[in-house]
Chain A
Amino acid sequence: MRTGIPARVGQYAALLAYLAFLAFPFLWLISTAFKPPRELGSLHPTWIPENPTLDNFRQAFDEQPLLDAASNSLIAALSAALIAVLIATPMAYVMARRRTRLARAATGWVVVSQAFPLVLVIIPLFLVLKNLRLIDSLFGLILVYVVWALPFALWMLVGYVRAVPSELEEAAAVDGAGRLRTLVSVTAPLLAPGIVATGLFAFVTAWNEFFFALVLLKTPEKQTLPVILTHFIGAEGVADLGPLAAAAFLATLPSLVVFAIVQRRITGGMLAGAVKN
């Protein structure tokens, strides 16, 4: 199909407008992170810092326990992603291969859990975790993150399992492989890329999460990065812009890197789970 030249020009103009809209806030964040205080106070801010500096980064580390926060975030996100994938994969396998009432209920739960406002979940969770003395503890937060990551993990993994033809497993069974053997040496290797993608996605979601961390963690040394970031904004909403931008920029990097790696697979997985009929 041919597209006329005026239409093409219009398309490129529209695409450029989209690119500008998507990119400019992030470019501005980077620009602010490298500006010295004098330029930040200037009434005519520029896109490119005139005297770029790393002072904001140093100051950000001085003002808030960023290293602690980063390690808390890392521990929480890594453990949550690992555990979630570990327990979701077998369940997703059963949901994809068997037509049972349980699997149907689980699919229902995946859908319904998207609709409930978090406040209805967090109040009882807060009370339960308080009884278990798991408030203000990273372990308590990890438990919550695991369960919170499960709906999406199950959704993705069910799609990936269905993409593995069950004839392969049947062939292995005919050849005399036991059930566990079939799972481990036939199904698992084929699923591996999907499992990794799901785990990485769960990592990013947990790394970015704010609401549960805000409610469940009280001591600054135990808080995760997103919560610590809000401490840069004072009670009156006045913020020290430079360090705030620097810290926000650093907190984003891991998510961007991981996401860039898995994005393609995730979109593929969402398709497998959602559109295929």
Chain B
Amino acid sequence: MTLVTATWRSARKVPLDRGAWFLVLPALIPILLLSVGPLLYGILLAFTDSQSGRTEPTQWIGGLNFRDLLQDTLFWESFRIGLVWAVGVTVPQFLLALGLALLLNQDLKLRWLARALAIIPWAMPEVVVGVMWRLVYNPDAGILNETLRDLGLGDGRDWLSGLATALPAVIVVGVWAGMPTTTVALLAGLQNTPRELHEAAAMDGAGAWRRFWTVTWPALRPVALAITALNLIWNFNSFALVYVLTSGGPGGRTRLPMLFAYEEAFRYGQFGYAAAMGCVMVALISVLLALFLVGRLRGGDES
């Protein structure tokens, strides 16, 4: 949270007067009514039997939704898939983005082209990304199978509806879609590393690998940690990509928790139960993330 503290150092401590309230309220009221309020309301809903289109009044049922959820093997399977997806996307995304950022930080000729191309996945609607990769993966008219056939690697397959290939196939799309943001963040971090240190290390005869670990990585670590943590959260909560690619199929193999909760809420109308799922998701992800960050930060203190 260095970002937050940075804000405070540069600002003066003055209580808000009437003029300042006048500046704040236009944004504050919508935030309270349409973001903070609904979030709290959503948490409360998790303890009710709220359903869509029901005429009887909604009742408090305490922790019943959560007790049901504990027994719900389908939900836990979906949660497991969500974790596999989030880690499976975030890790390659980070490694590939780091490689690209290191390349873009060099004096290479095609840098401008790479920067321009990196915009494409970033700017595209997620739905279009999904549509596009469906065309790539298409068993007959798709370019992937055609390339495999050309290379003599067999007839290819129906990637998105194969039980074994569906999850890896959507993970590749997730990596592709999220690479630009991660690359830009890492590139920003790289440009903050002191050039003189690099040159001094090179003078002392340190090889590229050595220079990376002793000079670049320590400077890059805060940015790397922040973007990885954010990516884990964003990926775990992602929806549109997989909705368009497989809608959770085949046989639930790609049913991320968000898809599961969406169906529960808006196909079956179980608002209370779906809200409970949302609570469990945010609670468990916070715990996992806290463990990850504490582990990483401690690892840094020792080295």
Chain A contacts to B: CB under 8 angstroms: 1, 3, 7, 11-12, 14-16, 18-19, 21-26, 28-29, 32, 40-45, 47, 86-88, 90-91, 93-100, 102-104, 106-109, 111, 113-125, 127-128, 143-144, 146-147, 150, 154, 158, 162, 179, 204, 207-211, 215, 225-227, 229-230, 232-233, 237, 239, 241, 244-245, 248, 251-252, 255-256, 258-260, 263, 267, 270-271, 273-277
Contact = CB atoms under 8 A, between A and B. Distances in A.
B297 interface: no
B30 A147 contact: yes
A261 to B, nearest CB: 10
A230 B244 contact: yes
Contact of B282 (A18, A47, A88, A117): A117
Interface in B133-152: 133-136, 138, 140-143, 146, 149
Interface of A (DSSP majority class)? helix
Interface in B178-217: 179, 184-185, 188-189, 192, 198-199, 202, 208
B298 interface: no
A19 B115 CA distance: 9
**Closest A-B pairs by Cβ, 7 of them:** A120-B278, A259-B123, A90-B23, A208-B125, A124-B41, A124-B38, A91-B27
Contacts, number: 309
Contacts of B19: 179
A147 B34 contact: yes
Given A22-B114, A119-B274, A208-B124, A90 B35 contact: no
A220 B275 CA distance: 27
Where chain B touches its partner, the secondary structure class is helix
Give the residue among B42, B140, B198, B244 with the most A Cβ atoms within 10 A. B42
A211 B117 CA distance: 26
12 contacts: A18-B99, A22-B120, A29-B128, A104-B4, A107-B7, A115-B286, A117-B278, A117-B282, A119-B277, A229-B127, A255-B124, A276-B6
B24 interface: yes
A144 B39 contact: no
A233 B133 CA distance: 13
Nearest to B227: A274
A215 B240 CA distance: 12
A226 B240 CA distance: 10
